[in-house]
Homo-oligomer: A and B are copies of this chain.
Amino acid sequence: MQIEKSDALFTFRIEARQGRARAGVFTTPHGDLPTPIFAPVGTQATVKAVTPAQLSELGAHLILANTYHLYLRPGEKLVAEMGGLHHFMNWPKPILTDSGGFQVFSLADNRKIDEDGVTFKSHIDGSLHRITPEKSIAIQEDLGADIIMAFDECAPPTDRAYNERALARTHAWAERCLRAKTRPDQALFGIVQGGVFPDLRQQSAEFMASLGFPGHAIGGLSVGESKEEMHAMIEVVDAVLPQEKPRYLMGVGTPVDVVQGVLRGVDIFDCVLPTRLARHNAAMTRSGRLNLVNAAYARDARPIDEQCACYTCQNFSRAYLRHLIISREMLAATLLSIHNLYTLLQLVREIRQSILEGRFESFAGQFLEKWGQAEFSSVMQDASS
């Protein structure tokens, strides 16, 4: 089955390659995306604690919004009535929505999967809901993002039997999503699953490639497997997926994960890490998390990072940020989100430039040496985005 109807609006032009890494441009109805790219996460139609104007100043192009959350609140029909997500949240640049699959499967005891779809209880009020592949596409069409995702099942990464069953469903559902899709101004990406099993990943990548999606996502990673397993899975998939289409590594990740992903042919990343760390009073630096609540920073007149050009680092001391945190002032989350988002957005800009200039491999080597020990993941288990 080949469905090409939406491809005309979406072209992917690779401008330079180095090793597996690529620098490209993905065109969408709301503007061009320079790749590699990092998408800040706006779960509930807002990237937490920052305005669209601030996001734009940070140089963000693509943002991600969550179908599960927006379906429950305010409801996709309301968003559609308000002119769609771009207009509703005042983000005129490209938006990507996930399928709701990952969030629904995260509900654990509060959801039930069958071959046709998933029934689940709302985390807001316990009400019962059902999402099928067709429903996921219908919601995403109402939301109106530029890039939308096939409804998939994200299985525990190391359970072989579970992954085999889930993969069969994910593949069947991908075909149903393609058939259900009606809007030509949205690019539907298929999602490769398969846990930590190379043969399943290969099989899934081959299947998704055969369906003719304009782009592909790699799902089910950064969910508990080792870094080595994650890297190995990306490599398997990279070898199979068509080179001329963009690849999106879902929910990843740390600065190091982003560099490791680009080294393995990934073009698009998203992660809640920068904004979530910010709300936990942590700044991202080359030496890892800098927890600004720490008394050591009470009289520290330095910015978070003396090399950083973000608004926060140009204008505020660690002592001031700590004061805001201790005083429970909202500005703390805003200023830390600005710094952390800038860190990721600036990183992908530097990666892209280094690919264009043919020096990505040395850039990556130096970067991994400097940031290799930086540890950001411990806060990632927390509940909210």
Contact = CB atoms under 8 A, between A and B. Distances in A.
A330 B329 contact: no
A82 B45 contact: no
Nearest to A70: B323
Contacts of A299: 78, 81-82
B52 A323 contact: no
Interface in A48-75: 48-54, 73-74
Nearest to A320: B88
Given A78-B299, A319-B78, A330 B48 contact: yes
A140 interface: no
A327 B73 contact: yes
Given A323-B73, A326-B74, A317 B82 contact: yes
Given A78-B298, A82-B319, A330 B49 contact: yes
Interface in A304-351: 311, 315-317, 319-320, 322-324, 326-327, 329-331, 333-335
Given A44-B329, A82-B301, A333-B330, A319 B49 contact: no
A89 interface: yes
Given A327-B44, A333-B330, A52 B315 contact: yes
A82 B81 CA distance: 50
A46 interface: yes
A315 B56 CA distance: 14
Contacts of A74: 298, 319, 322-323, 326-327
Interface string A285-310: 00000000000001101000000000
Contacts of A311: 51, 53
Contacts of A298: 74, 78
Nearest to A279: B330
A interface bracket (residues with beta carbon within 8 Å of B)? 35 or more
Contacts of A54: 51
Nearest to A300: B82
Q: How many copies does the complex hold?
A: 2
Contact of A73 (B81, B83, B88, B326): B326
B53 A331 contact: no
A335 B89 contact: no
A90 interface: yes
A319 to B, nearest CB: 5
A331 B89 CA distance: 11
Given A49-B331, A298-B74, A326-B73, A320 B44 contact: no
Interface in A156-210: none
A81 B300 CA distance: 10
B46 A324 contact: yes
Q: Which of A44, A48, A52, A326 counts the most chain B CB atoms within 10 A?
A: A44
Nearest to A77: B299
Contact of A316 (B78, B90, B315, B323): B90
23 contacts: A44-B327, A44-B329, A45-B323, A46-B324, A46-B329, A46-B331, A48-B329, A48-B330, A49-B331, A51-B311, A51-B335, A73-B323, A73-B327, A74-B298, A74-B319, A74-B323, A78-B298, A82-B299, A82-B301, A90-B320, A330-B330, A330-B333, A330-B334
Interface of A: 44-46, 48-54, 73-74, 78, 81-83, 88-90, 298-299, 301, 311, 315-317, 319-320, 322-324, 326-327, 329-331, 333-335
Given A44-B327, A52-B315, A83-B301, 14 more contacts: A44-B329, A46-B327, A46-B329, A46-B331, A48-B330, A49-B334, A50-B331, A51-B311, A51-B334, A53-B311, A73-B327, A74-B327, A82-B320, A330-B330
